[in-house]
A and B are shown apart, each in its own frame.
Chain A
Amino acid sequence: MKSLLATLALTTALTLPGLAMARPVTLTTALTNYGGDGAYLALYVTDASGAYAGSLWMAGGKSKYYKHLSDWYRATGGDTAQVNGITGASVGAGRMLEITLDLADALFDAGYTLHIDAAVEDMRDSPNEVAVPLTTTGAGTPVRGRRYVASFAYDM
């Protein structure tokens, strides 16, 4: 009996930190009615020093357009491996994109910033359309973009 309890305690102790290390986070991006084709959006994170840390989502599947997401492109060199498995369709004007990701807890309250670069065919590119610090207190607070994003918020 004692050994069973000890085993259970050990497995619980080993499992709990793993569960606590990540949480589902929903990123909601609403676009303005800018009157153009579907927007390409790159959602990525920089660390406290401003260095590129990684990508969270790419809206738009054709890599030949990625150069228009200029800040993301500069940081990654357009490396499509950065967005393998986290790429979806471009987002139409006036539409809302909702992505739920299992994100590491270490991203929050540690100086990380979430950025969105946006680009629309035959319209002006908008690097750093949104830049929002990732904090637990900032969750659920909508932020307005510069050109194409009407609002962006992350919820957890």
Chain B
Amino acid sequence: MKKTLTLLVASTALTAAIGVPAWSTMRVSGGEGLWPLAAHFDEGTQALPLVRVSDDDDDDDRDDRDDDDDDDDRGGARNPAPAGTVAPPQNGLFGTGTAPQVKVN
């Protein structure tokens, strides 16, 4: 009888030791850090960066190419019209609509 009672007291104490801090920190949001575990729960409520996990094997670094090397501009802003294809913009800087002459040495 005594042994059973001791076991019951021990298990209750163990449950209380683990459960009470957890329960109280979940209830106290943005509190003063009453328990060490509070910090963990508070951090958990903030948005964490989403980490995408894929089953693809990325170890071969194929995906490390810089996007800037991509030659197609699908979905991006439209490229300007090259010189000679349309008149220069009417921004008041150009005297006439004469096409620019360009030379690269």
Contact = CB atoms under 8 A, between A and B. Distances in A.
Interface residues of B, number: 30
Contact of B94 (A81, A83, A102): A102
Contacts of A53: 91-93
Interface of B: 68, 73, 76-89, 91-96, 98-105
A103 B101 CA distance: 12
10 contacts: A54-B89, A65-B68, A83-B89, A84-B86, A85-B81, A85-B82, A85-B83, A86-B83, A88-B82, A95-B105
Given A54-B92, A61-B80, A99-B103, 9 more contacts: A63-B78, A64-B77, A82-B91, A84-B88, A85-B83, A87-B80, A96-B104, A98-B102, A98-B105
B105 A102 contact: no
Interface in A65-103: 65, 78, 80-89, 91-92, 95-103
A54 B82 contact: no
Contact of A96 (B87, B92, B96, B105): B105
A85 B100 CA distance: 8
A146 to B, nearest CB: 22
B87 A85 contact: yes
Contacts of A85: 80-89, 99-100
Given A95-B105, A98-B102, A98-B103, A104 B92 contact: yes
A37 to B, nearest CB: 10
Interface of A: 21-23, 45, 53-58, 61-65, 78, 80-89, 91-92, 95-107, 121
Nearest to B73: A64
A52 B77 CA distance: 21
Given A63-B76, A64-B77, A78-B77, A95 B91 contact: no
Contact of A121 (B68, B85, B87, B103): B68
A78 B83 CA distance: 18
